Structure 1
Amino acid sequence: MSATTLQTAGEETLERVRDLPPSAKLVAKVLEYNDTLTQSELADETLLPPRTVRYALNRLEEEDLVESRFSFSDARKRLYSLNIE
Structure 2
Amino acid sequence: MSTITEDRSRQAESPFADPEFRETLRGLPPSAKLVAKVLDDTPPLSQGQLAEESLLPDRTVRYALTRLEEASLVDSRYSFRDARKQVYFLVV
Q: TM-score range by the shorter chain?
A: 0.7 to 0.9
TM-score with structure 2 length normalisation? 0.79
Q: Runs of 5+ in structure 2 lacking a partner?
A: 1-10
Identity percentage of aligned residues: 57
1:15 match: 23
Distance in 2, Cα, partners of 1:75 & 1:24: 25
Aligned length: 82
Shift of 1:35: 2.0
Q: Runs of 5+ in structure 1 lacking a partner?
A: none
Structure index of larger Rg? 2
TM-score with structure 1 length normalisation? 0.86
Distance in 1, Cα, partners of 2:60 & 2:42: 19
Please tell me the residue identity of whatever aligns with 1:70: Y
Please give the root-mean-square deviation of Cα atoms over the aligned residues, in Å.
2.2
